[in-house]
Amino acid sequence: MDDSCPPPPAQTTPLFTFGVIADIQYADIEDGSNYKHSRKRYYRNSLQLLRNAQHTWSTSAITPRFTLQLGDIIDGFNKRHEASDEALDTVMREFSSGPVQVHHVWGNHEFYNFSRDTLFRSRLNSSTAHCECVTDRQGGLQADGIYAYHFSPVPKFRFVVLDAYDVSLLGREESSVQYSNALKLLKQHNDNEDLNHPPESEGLERRFVKFNGGFSKEQLDWLDTVLTLADERSERVTVVSHLPVHPSSTDPICLAWNYDELLEILHSHGSVVCFMAGHDHDGGYHRDKDSGVHYLTLEGVIETPPDSDAFGTVSVYDDRMVLKGNGRIADRELLFP
Ligand code: ZN
């Protein structure tokens, strides 16, 4: 090695930045707790934490290109109080106060509040937003009721939004074939009366609960095609979904049903650099050692105390992404494989 030749200076200006936030679960109700009563939930204050995030993004030196909202934007309790539309209006007003376009992911709480058809026609369908970067706005998947799309904010970088409730009891009509297939699958693994209660068995089987779901073969094939094209174009791809798919990045009770099939596809494409999810409010992170892909599960706003925060800003460089976390979200450097 020639030590007279200094290393190139580290790239200091990012190519672009974007915001990330998960599980806002806003509702205009008193604070409560999670299912196991082990965590407090701050239903009203979640709006203030979104406001904090918006303030940071709209005043930062580099305006983020977009924000990824990783699902569960309002809480299922809104449905019980017939306040779904009002709660969504409140949160969307907050989002639209900022300068940044939002890409929305759908989680279980979206389906507690709205039907799949309603969601497709709503502001939470960001695949139809006026955006030159959405490449297949008329994509065939949506004709079959699957909410998945991809976009490229700058050349050589692509983001894929997945529908983790494509195979699920949530968001599917009880009379549909999809519903009966999902019920059959769930009951093969979970014999509880209350299917939101995980099966007795330890470990990964606990993912077979009603509040989770999975990816149909149609969606997996579509993803495979999108990633093949990305490989050919030497792009860096970040895939997002509400449900985590790597067992080491989450509590198994939050894992997608057929996480293994999704992992197999992600790991067969060199273009994939990162996978981001929400749903597990405690967050998680794992780097797959063979593929080098980063699996990030973002801490949820809803279980974040009012004196803290839960959002991040990601700066993207040629060789890495740098997550600047706020509040209980840690800073991370995500080197590309
Ligand atoms: Zn969720």
CATH of the domain at 39: 3.60.21.10
Above 70 in pLDDT, residue 7? no
Question: Is position 1 within any domain?
Answer: no
∠ Cα 61 286 155 (to 5°): 45
Handedness of CA 88, 93, 96, 97 (dihedral sign): negative
Helix, strand, coil share (%) of the chain residues, nearest 5: 30, 20, 50
pLDDT digits (tens, 9 = 90+) for 28-60: 999 999 888 899 999 999 999 999 999 999 999
Question: Is position 72 within any domain?
Answer: yes
Above 80 in pLDDT, residue 63? yes
Q: Which domain holds residue 103?
A: 16-335
CA of 298 to the centre of ligand 1 (A): 11
For helices 84-96 and 45-59, what crossing angle results, to 10°? 20
pTM of the model: 0.94
Phi-psi region of 41 (alpha: psi -120 to 50; beta: other; left: phi over 0): beta
CA of 21 to the centre of ligand 1 (A): 13
Residue range 197-201: mean pLDDT, rounded:
92
Question: Is position 7 within any domain?
Answer: no
The total domain count for the chain is: 1
Report residue 137's pLDDT band, with 50, 70 and 90 as the boundaries: very low
Comparing CA positions, the residue from 294, 276, 275 lying closest to residue 334 is 294
Residue range 317-324: mean pLDDT, rounded:
97
Residue range 296-313: mean pLDDT, rounded:
98
The confidence score (pLDDT) of residue 133 equals: 44
Both tokens assigned to 282:
């405690």
Both tokens assigned to 319:
């060789």
Phi, psi of 297 (to 5 degrees): -115, 120
CA of 75 to the centre of ligand 1 (A): 9
Q: In angstroms, rounded to a whole number, what is the distance separating the alpha carbons of residues 320 and 335?
A: 4
Report residue 134's pLDDT band, with 50, 70 and 90 as the boundaries: very low
The confidence score (pLDDT) of residue 291 equals: 97
Both tokens assigned to 155:
């050349």
Above 50 in pLDDT, residue 132? no
Question: Is position 37 within any domain?
Answer: yes
Phi, psi of 145 (to 5 degrees): 80, 20
Question: Is position 3 within any domain?
Answer: no
Report residue 208's pLDDT band, with 50, 70 and 90 as the boundaries: very high
The one-letter code for the residue type at 319 is D
The confidence score (pLDDT) of residue 5 equals: 64
**Mean pLDDT, the chain, whole residue set:** 93
Q: Which residues surround ligand 1, an ion (CB under 5 A)?
A: 72, 107-108, 279
CA of 62 to the centre of ligand 1 (A): 30
CA of 242 to the centre of ligand 1 (A): 7
Both tokens assigned to 278:
């929400």
The one-letter code for the residue type at 79 is K
Both tokens assigned to 248:
């080491």
Above 80 in pLDDT, residue 273? yes
The confidence score (pLDDT) of residue 140 equals: 60
pLDDT digits (tens, 9 = 90+) for 225-240: 999 999 999 999 999 9
Q: In angstroms, rounded to a whole number, what is the distance separating the alpha carbons of residues 46 and 97?
A: 16
CA of 27 to the centre of ligand 1 (A): 15
CA of 73 to the centre of ligand 1 (A): 9
The confidence score (pLDDT) of residue 4 equals: 57
Residue listed under structure tokens 């060789």: 319
Residue range 72-84: mean pLDDT, rounded:
97
CA of 263 to the centre of ligand 1 (A): 20
CA of 55 to the centre of ligand 1 (A): 25
Above 50 in pLDDT, residue 1? no
CA of 279 to the centre of ligand 1 (A): 4
